[in-house]
Structure 1
Amino acid sequence: MIEVKNLHKGFGDVKVLKGIDATFHPGKTSLIIGQSGSGKTVFLKSLIGLHTPEDGTISFDGRINTQFTDKQKQQWRQEIGMVFQGSALFDSQTVEDNIMFPLKMFTNQSYEEMLERVNFVINRVNLKNSNLKLPAELSGGMQKRVAIARAIVMNPKYLFCDEPNSGLDPRTAIVIDNLIQEITDEYNITTVINTHDMNSVMEIGEKIVFLKDGRKAWEGTSNDIFKTDNEAVVGFVYSSNLFKKVREAYLKETK
């Protein structure tokens, strides 16, 4: 579980995060949403330790990350998996080598042990027989699967995804959403996703944190978001006519 209490972060005179409280639970897909400039990217980077908060705490199963010793920090980093917006694969390395990279960096496993684990996660993300392919030989959706496989190869407790559906067509985006949710549930991972994709919100939003001007303006589930009368949320989520009609139909049925 990740607990965030009174989180503040700024850059110079610009205050970006202004006292955010949030809790993210194991086995749940938690989504951070908000307009550009709302603070969601800074929030995610603070969670993974790329930004140090000016005030407040972020704790991982009761451990406050800013209080870690160097040894504890190294251990914590091994508990984190990260799926980057652009997949961030090494272009000159094969699928197998990309996924094996964290194992080489953080473990003392033999090559045979590492390969066994790599093959396991390759099969788990439905990329069988892709070991020796280069990223350029893969579709965008397949590259995302490789990125997910690399993120889970260390069997992480915490999984962070930055715009995992960026650049994908709607059908492939749904496949990636479902894969992330399945893995989260299957391995009881605490998963936090930074996204602007409203389809993701509706499909896998077991918990949604809506940021506005650096503050948490609302939180709830994908079901709650249909019923909310929070003007900021309604204006953001239902700016699309499609989602507006879906919401109207939902409210009509539940009256």
Structure 2
Amino acid sequence: MIEVNDIHKSFGDSEILKGISTVFEKGKTNLIIGQSGSGKTVFLKTLLGLFIPEQGSISYDGKIYSKLSPDQKSELRAEMGMVFQGSALFDSMTIAENVKFPLRMFTKQNKSEMNDRVNIVLKRVNLDDAHNKLPSEASGGMQKRVAIARAIVNQPKYLFCDEPNSGLDPRTATVIDNLIQEITQEYDITTVINTHDMNSVMEIGEKIVFLKDGIKEWEGSNKNIFKTDNEAVTNFVYSSDLFQRVQKMYLEEDQ
């Protein structure tokens, strides 16, 4: 569980996060959504410890980040997995070597132990025959699965995903969404996903935090996002490509 209490973050005279408080629950897919410029990316990077807020606190299973020693912060970072927007794979490394990289960085496992762990996670993301491929030989969807395997290879307590469906077709995006949700539940991870994709919201949005101009404008689940009377949320939802497609489908059925 990640608890956020009254977070403020500014750059120069520009205040980006304006007193956000929320809880990201363990074993659930927690989504951060909002228009461009709403503060989503800054919020995610603050959760990762890359940005330090001027006010407020963030605690990870009861451990307040600002009160940790440098060694304790390093230990906490080792418990975090990250799926980057562009997958961020090393081009010169094979898929197996990419996945093994965090084990080399953060563990003292021997070669056999690392190989066993790589085999386990690649099998979990249905890539057990792709060890020796280079990222350039993999499709966009495969690269995302490699990125997920690398993010969970250290058995993290916290999984962060920045626009994991960026650049994917809708069908592949749904596969990635479902994989992230399955892994979250299987390993009981606290997963936080930064996204603008309403397909993801409807597929896996167990907890949704909607930001607008650096403020938490609304929070809830995909079961009640269509029921809210919050104008900012409804404008975001009804302007989405997903809503337009659903609306068009219903109009065509009525004709």
Question: Into which bin does the TM-score normalised by the smaller protein fall?
Answer: over 0.9
Give the residue type in structure 2 aligned to 1:178. Answer: N
Q: Separation in 1 of the partners of 2:242 and 2:133?
A: 39
Alignment of 1:13-28 (within 5 A): 13-28=13-28
After TM superposition, give the deviation of residue 237 of structure 1 in Å.
Answer: 1.1
Alignment of 1:1-255 (within 5 A): 1-240=1-240, 242-243=242-243, 246=246
After TM superposition, give the deviation of residue 206 of structure 1 in Å.
Answer: 0.1
Give the residue type in structure 2 aligned to 1:175. Answer: V
Q: Separation in 1 of the partners of 2:229 and 2:26?
A: 28
Cα distance 1:242–1:167, how it changes in 2: closer, same or farther (>3 A)? closer
After TM superposition, give the deviation of residue 244 of structure 1 in Å.
Answer: 5.8
Cα distance 1:116–1:241, how it changes in 2: closer, same or farther (>3 A)? closer
Give the residue type in structure 1 aligned to 2:166. Answer: S
Give the SS at the match of 2:160. strand
Give the SS at the match of 1:225. coil
For structure 2, list consecutive stretches of 5 or more residues without a partner in the other structure: 250-255
Give the SS at the match of 1:38. coil
Q: Separation in 1 of the partners of 2:185 and 2:238?
A: 28
Q: Separation in 1 of the partners of 2:138 and 2:100?
A: 18
Q: Separation in 2 of the partners of 1:133 and 1:240?
A: 36
After TM superposition, give the deviation of residue 218 of structure 1 in Å.
Answer: 0.2
Cα distance 1:74–1:242, how it changes in 2: closer, same or farther (>3 A)? closer
Aligned residues: 250
Q: Structure 1 runs of 4+ off > 2 angstroms?
A: 244-247
Deviation digits for residues 113-132 of structure 1 (CA, Å, limit 9, x no counterpart)? 00000000000000011001
Cα distance 1:165–1:241, how it changes in 2: closer, same or farther (>3 A)? closer
Q: Separation in 2 of the partners of 1:190 and 1:242?
A: 27
Q: Separation in 2 of the partners of 1:231 and 1:11?
A: 28
Q: Separation in 2 of the partners of 1:242 and 1:170?
A: 10
Identity %: 70
After TM superposition, give the deviation of residue 242 of structure 1 in Å.
Answer: 4.9
User: 2:198–2:242: 8 Å Cα contact kept in structure 1?
Assistant: no
After TM superposition, give the deviation of residue 240 of structure 1 in Å.
Answer: 3.5
Q: Separation in 2 of the partners of 1:61 and 1:224?
A: 27
Alignment correspondent of 2:253: none
For structure 1, list consecutive stretches of 5 or more residues without a partner in the other structure: 250-255
Cα distance 1:216–1:69, how it changes in 2: closer, same or farther (>3 A)? same
